Each structure stands twice: as C-alpha cells, then as structure tokens.
C-alpha cells in the first residue's frame, strides 16, 4: 500500500513536469558592466587639444562633456555609462583640423588613446585596453 502511494506520487510528479515556482533572482549587473572609462593622453604639440563626447539618440541625452587635454602627457579620463536609447560619440578636436573620432568602448573596460596634432593633421591611436576593477586575466 505504501509502495503504491509512493509510486503514484512519483508518477504524478513526473506527469506534472518541471517545477514552475518563482525563479531565483538574477544578480544585477555590476557597475563595471554598465560603464566604461575612456582616457586620452595628448602628446606635446603646438595646438591645444580638446576631448569631448556625447550620447547621440533620437532625443537629446544627458552626459555630454568637453575636457581640455592639459597638461600634455597626462591622462584625461571620463566614465561613460551605458544607454539603451543612445550611442556614445567620442572625439578629439583642435582648431584647423578635422576631428579625430574614437570608437565607442566595450563596457566593463578602460581604454587609453594617444592624441597628437602635427603638420600632417590630428591623429589618435589606441594605447591599451584593460578591465575595470580588480579582476586580472
């Protein structure tokens, strides 16, 4: 009798399918996954350079910045927050030259660029990419 009751309960449980109770909460994305840091280092030159960025979307977005790259050789960094409705546009500018566009970084990373104004024009090149936080590969 007890054996048939256990068998019946087991059969009922199998026919009912997997448990559809509440799902365990997922861990919220860490701040490192929702942000990126872009640093620009100006090479000493005759023209002052400016590092700027803005979120470009269907409507005006907060978060625009414009930073002078001074003194030369010092990293000027800006934290960028992820947006679901807009994309970051980053550039280095100086008067008389075409702006140098920087690609939007992967979130969770710190990206370094070098900017230089010379007789050939304005150039930007990546120096390195590192994870944000204490994690080391």
- Stretch (H or E) spanning 112: strand 109-118
Mean pLDDT, to the nearest integer, of 60-76?
92
Checking if the pLDDT of 70 tops 70, the result is: yes
| DSSP H or E segment with residue 11 | helix 2-16
- Give the Cα-Cα-Cα angle 53, 56, 59 (nearest 5 degrees): 135
- pLDDT tens digits, one per residue of 4-46: 444 444 434 444 444 444 444 444 455 567 899 999 999 998 8
The reported pLDDT for the residue numbered 32 is 63
- What local confidence, expressed as pLDDT, does residue 48 receive? 93
Q: Looking at residue 48, what DSSP letter applies?
A: -
Evaluate whether 53 touches 89 at the Cβ level (below 8 Å): yes
Structure tokens belonging to residue 93: 């500018």
The structural architecture, per CATH, of the domain 31-131 is Sandwich (2.60)
Residue 72's CB is within 10 A of a number of other CB atoms, namely: 14
User: For the whole prediction, is pTM greater than 0.85?
Assistant: no
Maximum pairwise Cα distance, the chain: 95
Side by side, the strands of the sheet bearing 75-81 are 75-81, 35-42, 109-118, 121-131
């Amino acid at each position: 009798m007890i054996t048939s009751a256990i068998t019946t309960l087991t059969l009922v449980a199998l026919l009912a399918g997997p448990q559809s109770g509440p799902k365990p909460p997922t861990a919220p994305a860490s701040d490192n996954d929702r942000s990126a840091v872009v640093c620009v280092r100006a090479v000493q030159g005759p023209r002052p350079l400016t590092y700027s960025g803005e979120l470009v979307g269907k409507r005006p977005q907060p978060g625009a910045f414009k930073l002078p790259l001074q003194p030369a050789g010092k990293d000027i960094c800006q934290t960028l927050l992820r947006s679901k409705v807009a994309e970051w546009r980053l550039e280095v500018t100086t008067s008389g030259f075409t702006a140098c566009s920087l690609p939007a970084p992967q979130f969770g990373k710190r990206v370094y660029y070098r900017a230089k104004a010379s007789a050939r024009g304005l150039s930007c090149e990546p120096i390195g990419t590192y994870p944000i936080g204490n994690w080391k590969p």
